[in-house]
């Protein structure tokens, strides 16, 4: 097993095809990765419930005040070439001891519509990974279901690319189904793949409606990386995963209608391949067993994921 810690050598806040790999591994290698929380925090948030307090929280020295999510990596896989499929098997996800959820600290259209800008709040969570319970300062408890919000490879286009929106090649997907026991399939866009991960979430509902989940560092995330020539005989055109909930296909776009169409289009490919049927039959079956869910509505573009439970079609 290879180990990658979040430090000055591995931390970055963007996707860039020119960023050198922090680690290069053979296909089939398991990598144990540690991450900071999305905001580069070095400890629990103790400031006031204000934008100024949030901006002044202690951060890792690698942060320079202008970056996006704190990502660890990149990890290159030997032999991975554009057009192939990077497989990321999520073997274990162990959150750190603290987490934070923010509401009303950013003047977004949704926050204005919901009337929360006048009364911002910060929930400070104590996380018990062994018991899978998180408790905030008001005494509320929630079940933990940890996953990484960001898993992605850079686009082929040169330069630095924002970590805020999700892309067809991964990134800030915020899909709550990507828990331990899942395998995520992403397109290889550059030689080696150059996978970067971060944005730990101890728990999140579909939509991530306040703009944050329980944002937390990850003590460790074990990922087994491999490369396939294709998935079901075709290139991957949008993130696809096999999860404990079943097969999941994801769509990201400027509006929910288009994101839904992308996710459903990919799900028809999955159904057709699994059951040897045409797309019309696949859509008819999808209408009976596939659920469409809003992945997130807070990251510049929106996301929808389609879910096909295992065994739903026999």
**Residue 7 counted as domain residue:** yes
Q: What share of the chain is helix, strand, coil (3-state, %, to 5)?
A: 15, 40, 45
DSSP calls for 124-178 = EEEEETTTTEEEETTS-EEE---EEEEEE---SSSS-B-SSSEETTEEE---TT-
**Weakest mean pLDDT among 49-53, 173-177, 262-266:** 49-53
Q: Please state, in angstroms and rounded to a whole number, the distance separating the CA atoms of residues 303 and 206.
A: 10
Cβ contacts of 67 within 8 Å, gap of 6 or more: 12, 13, 14, 40
Across the range 94-107, mean pLDDT stands at 96
Residue pLDDT, tens place only, 239-255: 999 999 999 999 999 99
**Residue 313 counted as domain residue:** no
> Mean pLDDT in the chain?
97
Residues 89-111, buried b or exposed e (16+ Cβ, 10 A)?
A: bbbebbbbebbbbbbbbbeeeeb
**Residue 314 counted as domain residue:** no
Residue pLDDT, tens place only, 204-228: 999 999 999 999 999 999 999 999 9
Across the range 223-237, mean pLDDT stands at 97
**H-type helices in the chain, by residue range?**
51-55, 109-114, 256-275, 279-289
Terminal CA-CA length for the chain? 38
The pLDDT of residue 312: 97
Report pTM.
0.97
The pLDDT of residue 247: 98
Specify whether the CB–CB gap between 305 and 248 falls below 8 A: yes
What domain range includes position 287?
2-308
The pLDDT of residue 64: 85
Q: What is the CATH number of the domain that holds 252?
A: 2.60.120.580
The pLDDT of residue 65: 80
**Is 292 strand, coil or helix?**
strand
Helix axes 279-289, 256-275, angle to 10 degrees: 110
The pLDDT of residue 55: 86
Residue pLDDT, tens place only, 181-201: 999 999 999 999 999 999 999
Model confidence at 66: pLDDT above 90 = no
> How many distinct structural domains can be found in the chain?
1
**Residue 197 counted as domain residue:** yes
């Amino acid at each position: 097993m290879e180990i990658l810690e979040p430090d000055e050598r591995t931390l970055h806040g963007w996707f860039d095809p020119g960023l050198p790999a922090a680690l290069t591994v053979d296909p089939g290698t398991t990598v144990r990765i540690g991450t900071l929380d999305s905001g580069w925090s070095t400890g629990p948030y103790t400031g006031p419930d204000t934008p100024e307090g949030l901006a002044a929280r202690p951060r890792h020295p690698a942060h320079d005040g202008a970056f996006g999510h704190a990502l660890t990596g990149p990890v290159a896989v030997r032999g991975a070439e554009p057009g192939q499929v990077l497989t990321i098997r999520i073997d274990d996800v162990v959150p750190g001891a603290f987490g934070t959820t923010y509401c009303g600290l950013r003047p977004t259209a949704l926050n204005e519509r919901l009337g929360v800008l006048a009364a911002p709040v910060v929930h400070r969570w104590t996380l018990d990974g062994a018991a899978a319970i998180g408790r905030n300062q008001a005494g509320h408890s929630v079940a933990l279901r940890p996953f990484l919000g960001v898993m992605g490879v850079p686009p082929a286009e040169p330069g630095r690319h924002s970590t805020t929106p999700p892309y067809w090649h991964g990134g800030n997907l915020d899909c709550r189904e990507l828990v331990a026991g899942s395998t995520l399939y992403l397109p290889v866009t550059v030689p080696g793949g150059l996978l970067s991960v971060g944005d730990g979430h101890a728990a999140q509902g579909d939509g991530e409606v306040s703009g944050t989940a329980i944002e937390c560092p990850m003590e460790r995330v074990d990922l087994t990386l491999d490369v396939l020539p294709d998935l079901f005989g075709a290139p991957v055109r949008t993130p696809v995963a096999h999860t404990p909930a079943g097969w999941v296909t994801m769509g990201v776009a400027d509006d929910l209608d288009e994101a839904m169409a992308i996710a459903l289009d990919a799900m028809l490919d999955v159904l057709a391949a699994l059951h040897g049927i045409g797309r019309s039959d696949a859509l008819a079956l999808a209408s009976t067993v596939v659920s469409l869910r809003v992945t997130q509505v807070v990251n510049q573009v929106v996301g929808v994921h389609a879910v096909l439970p295992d065994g739903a079609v026999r």
